Amino acid sequence: MLSPLHLIWQAANRNDDYSVFGSASVCAIIKFKWDRFAWPIFMLQMGYYLVHLFVCIIMIYAVVQEDGIESTWDHADKVSQK
């Protein structure tokens, strides 16, 4: 079963006329669906993303700061060869 909003989108797409999305009733449907369903899912996924980003930044910082890692490229050698 298709949602009414999906049916409206199909009809607008078929007729290439999207003015229906400016009506108050369709705006109310979209706002309801966003507030009730999409916003919590969006915030949950954003939270997962931010936690993952924070962990990646901490891991990269830990690897860069570790003393056991040496660079295989020495800038002074490259400059002196010119």
Q: Helix/strand/coil (H, E, C) string of 3-59?
A: CHHHHHHHHHHHHCCCHHHHCHHHHHHHHHHHHHHHHHHHHHHHHHHHHHHHHHHHH
Phi, psi of 81 (to 5 degrees): -75, -20
Residue 74 C-beta-side C-alpha neighbours within 13 Å: 5
Per-residue pLDDT at 40: 95
Structure tokens at 44: 């949950």
**In the chain, where the domains are located:** 4-67
Over residues 29-42, the mean pLDDT reads 94
Per-residue pLDDT at 69: 60
Which pTM value belongs to this model?
0.58
